[in-house]
Amino acid sequence: MTTHFYQPKDGHGLPHDPFNAIVGPRPIGWVSTHNEQGQLNLAPYSFFTAFNYTPPIVGFTSIGAKDSLHNAQATGEFVWNLVTTDLAKAMNETCAVVPLGVSEFELGGLTPAPSSVVKPPRVLESPVNFECKVTQIVQLTTVEGHHVETWLVLGQVVGVHINNALLVNGVYDTAAAGHVLRGGGPSDYFTLGPEAKFLMPRPPSAAEQQRKIKP
């Protein structure tokens, strides 16, 4: 097997940087916030994931000091909204760079719905929403210790809304939701369906193996 090797500091030598395509597909951080004056903001972030289970903590990365970062810093709150296939076009509309005072909710034809715990609204049309309180905001650094113009915003999930149609016998049906995931390239996206699912039980622990071999 031959490989293409490069050191990022020297460039990748390819038509398109493969990093985003390799680390993917990724869930989209569709984040709603408001500023101190109450003006709403809704924006999708390519780098978003869960960082902890109990308590649940999620985070998104702001490459450049964008409105979501400023609003999360100022208010200490944000809401994550699940992007599904039927909301993909609306999500894409909220990517637009618009003047101050223009609502991304209106651009996407979306409805801001009151949250239960935090003040920023959730996207009513989204089947899952995480209400979050900011726990940390970290500016990233290089190995040399230089600051990068990128910030990681972490938030503890303090409220969860799930469309009951996605709960099958109390279990969340990921495949039925139609999650939209971000790939590489300027416009690559993926989605999940039942055909993508497979089961892989974990290997038994040493203690479980011992219990099995006891007479």
Question: Could you tell me if residue 199 is inside a domain?
Answer: yes
Is a pLDDT exceeding 70 seen at residue 213? no
Tell me the pLDDT tens digit for each residue of 64-102.
Answer: 999 999 999 999 999 999 999 999 999 999 998 888 778
CATH code: domain of residue 22: 2.30.110.10
Question: Could you tell me if residue 3 is inside a domain?
Answer: no
Question: Could you tell me if residue 123 is inside a domain?
Answer: yes
- The H-or-E segment that residue 154 falls in is strand 147-162
Question: Could you tell me if residue 91 is inside a domain?
Answer: yes
Average pLDDT over residues 191-197: 89
The pLDDT > 70 percentage for the chain reads: 98
Question: Could you tell me if residue 9 is inside a domain?
Answer: no
Domain count, the chain: 1
Q: Which residues is 5 bridged to in the sheet?
A: none
Residue 214 CB coordination number (10 Å): 5
Tell me the pLDDT tens digit for each residue of 162-176.
Answer: 999 999 999 999 999
DSSP 3-43: -----GGG---SSS--HHHHS-SEE-EEEEEE-TT--EEEE
Question: Could you tell me if residue 182 is inside a domain?
Answer: yes
Q: Note down the domain range covering 190.
A: 16-213
Tell me the pLDDT tens digit for each residue of 4-18.
Answer: 999 999 999 999 899
Tell me the pLDDT tens digit for each residue of 13-43.
Answer: 999 899 989 998 999 999 999 999 999 999 9
pLDDT of residue 30: 98
Question: Could you tell me if residue 50 is inside a domain?
Answer: yes
Question: Could you tell me if residue 6 is inside a domain?
Answer: no
Average pLDDT over residues 32-61: 96
Q: Among the listed ranges 33-37, 91-95, 143-147, 197-201, which one has the minimum average pLDDT value?
A: 197-201
